[in-house]
Homo-oligomer: A and B are copies of this chain.
Amino acid sequence: MEPSIFGIDYEISAINNNLSKQKNFYKTFKKTGIKETYKSPTNLSVIDLALKVCKRNLFEIKKCDTIIFVTQTPKYLLPSCSCIIQSELNLKEDIFVFDINMGCSGFIHGLSVACSLIKSNSSKNIALICADTYSHYFSKSNKNKFLFSDAASLTIIKKRKKKGIGPFLFGTDGSNYDKIIISKNKKNKLEFNMSGSDVYLFTLDKIPNLVDKYLKLINKNKKDFFIFHQASSLILESLRDKIKINKDKFIIDLKYGNTTSSSIPIALKRAIKSKKIKKGERVILCGFGVGLAWGITSMVV
């Protein structure tokens, strides 16, 4: 009996940016692979987004003794989003809840903590919620609106009679902390900024070595499936070519844009649903970005 993913669901924000109407669409699309992004109205928070997906899965969430809420755009600095989720879903009071602040690798970070809580018998069933509303920190001229979408995902993790998740490897290079950041702009407003070229170079530098190290650790070659953080087609294709992963085994799913910590669970869910990845097949999951931080793990679907 090992911790295993029982189910995934997600919610994409309602307001659609059809990018094909934008100037220079084709030039941008060639780099990003993204036709549409989605944003949340400014009065709707990550909690509202998360509640939509949670309410559809209330029967399973009610069985959870632990809620982990991964976000970097919380409704309040304090209290935690997970505490408000407890109340809004009428969950029992004797529940273990906390928020983890981590970005594009946040699903891997959260999954690792969830697996450890289950393995150590601290938790039985865990709801891992990832949700971000980066768009709330975009000024009108912020080009990141062509890349990022607001979304929430819910992953239920419990002990099951099947091969578990893991092992995990993680890393951090905080010297590049300012390459993806929310900080005050000239108008003294909080704004999201990313140095795309630096993040591209960082990713191409760190992730191929990480994947090689991980494959050695689990004694596997490149025949398994790979789902990386769905950052952009340029980053994904460059990584795929550098690591030399077969196109058929490498998932690129940018239908909803870059949904930060939700991008891996959304791509995984859609790949299973479309039968691209079938039951019993191994998939290697790798997140990277804000921090700069990265994490890798694998699981059998």
Residues 163-204 of chain A, each 1 if its beta carbon lies under 8 Å from chain B, else 0: 000001111111101001111000000101000000000000
Cβ of A87 and Cβ of B177 under 8 Å apart? yes
CB distance from A219 to the nearest CB of B (A): 18
Report the stretch among A4-12, A54-62, A109-117, A142-150 that lies at the interface. A109-117
Q: What's the Cα separation between A289 and B181 when bound, in Å?
A: 30
Dominant SS at the A interface?
mixed
Cβ of A101 and Cβ of B122 under 8 Å apart? no
Known A101-B80, A122-B112: A86·B172 in contact at CB below 8 Å: yes
Cβ of A88 and Cβ of B168 under 8 Å apart? no
* A243: Cβ under 8 A from any B Cβ: no
Q: What's the Cα separation between A88 and B113 when bound, in Å?
A: 24
Cβ of A94 and Cβ of B169 under 8 Å apart? yes
Cβ of A174 and Cβ of B103 under 8 Å apart? no
Known A112-B122, A116-B117: A172·B97 in contact at CB below 8 Å: yes
In the complex, which residues of chain B have a beta carbon less than 8 angstroms from the beta carbon of A19?
none
Cβ of A172 and Cβ of B93 under 8 Å apart? yes
Q: What is the size category of the interface that chain A forms with chain B?
A: 35 or more
Report the stretch among A30-38, A69-77, A221-229, A277-285 that lies at the interface. A69-77
CB distance from A259 to the nearest CB of B (A): 15
* A98: Cβ under 8 A from any B Cβ: yes
Residues 154-169 of chain A, each 1 if its beta carbon lies under 8 Å from chain B, else 0: 0000000000000011
In the complex, which residues of chain B have a beta carbon less than 8 angstroms from the beta carbon of A182?
76-78
In the complex, which residues of chain B have a beta carbon less than 8 angstroms from the beta carbon of A177?
79, 83-84, 87
Cβ of B190 and Cβ of A95 under 8 Å apart? no
* A271: Cβ under 8 A from any B Cβ: no
Picked from B72, B77, B175, the residue with its CB within 8 Å of the CB of A72 is: B77
Closest to A113 in B: B113
Q: Which of A93, A95, A115 has the most CB of B within 10 A?
A: A93
* A138: Cβ under 8 A from any B Cβ: no
Picked from B79, B137, B292, the residue with its CB within 8 Å of the CB of A103 is: B79
12 pairs, CB–CB < 8 Å, chain A vs chain B: A76-B181, A76-B183, A77-B190, A79-B181, A86-B174, A95-B171, A97-B172, A99-B102, A100-B100, A113-B113, A119-B120, A122-B168
Known: A98-B102, A115-B120, A116-B117. 18 other contacts (CB 8 A): A72-B77, A72-B78, A72-B80, A74-B77, A74-B101, A78-B182, A79-B291, A80-B293, A82-B172, A83-B177, A83-B292, A85-B174, A87-B175, A93-B172, A97-B172, A99-B101, A113-B113, A113-B116
Nearest 6 pairs between A and B by C-beta?
Answer: A87-B174, A119-B120, A99-B101, A72-B78, A83-B291, A86-B174
